[in-house]
Amino acid sequence: MSEVYAPSAVDLRAQLLAAKPTRKEQIELDLGDGQSLIVWVREMSLGERDAFEAGQMERDGSTFTMKTEGLKARLIVLCTCNEDGSRVFGDNDFDALLEAGSSVMEPLFSACQRVNGMVEEDGEVDPFLDSQQSGE
């Protein structure tokens, strides 16, 4: 069991502000024909996560609705990285990713969800993404 530390308010603030995204996971993608590719996915920062979620909302007057179009590609763009954590895709790669094979991209999307805590250990999906996928 880890030691519990009760920091002062100043220490707590400093520790929380210093908490940078650190989670990364290496996955192997099956490209078919006996070929595979090693890919890394990373945790988004809070700002990236907020922008991702806001980008999935549409406003019609005073009503907001969730949109599912492009959700997987947007998450893959933000989270696929090199071993050093730098993004592989730029925002301008979004349209090209929409044309990529789903058999390769679905496992990559699932890894992005997992690393970013969008899927619970019991397989439950984050409520934000669940409403996205169900089309609500």
113, part of any domain: yes
> Which pLDDT value is given to residue 79?
97
Distance CA 76, CA 94 (A): 9
> Which pLDDT value is given to residue 135?
46
> Which pLDDT value is given to residue 40?
98
Number of domains in the chain: 1
Residue pair 133/66 in contact by the 8 Å Cβ criterion? no
Q: What is the pLDDT tens value at each position of the chain, 136 positions in all?
A: 567 667 676 788 888 899 888 899 999 999 989 999 999 999 999 999 999 999 888 888 888 888 888 999 999 999 999 999 999 999 999 999 999 999 999 999 999 999 999 987 665 666 555 544 444 4
Helix axes 102-115, 71-79, angle to 10 degrees: 60
Grouping H, G, I as helix, E, B as strand and the rest as coil, residue 63 is strand
- Residue 104's domain comprises 22-133
Locate 47 and state its tokens: 């700002």
Paired with 39 in beta bridges are 27
Helix H or strand E segment including 77: helix 71-79
Residue pair 25/41 in contact by the 8 Å Cβ criterion? yes
Query: Which CATH number characterizes residue 60's domain?
Result: 3.30.2220.20
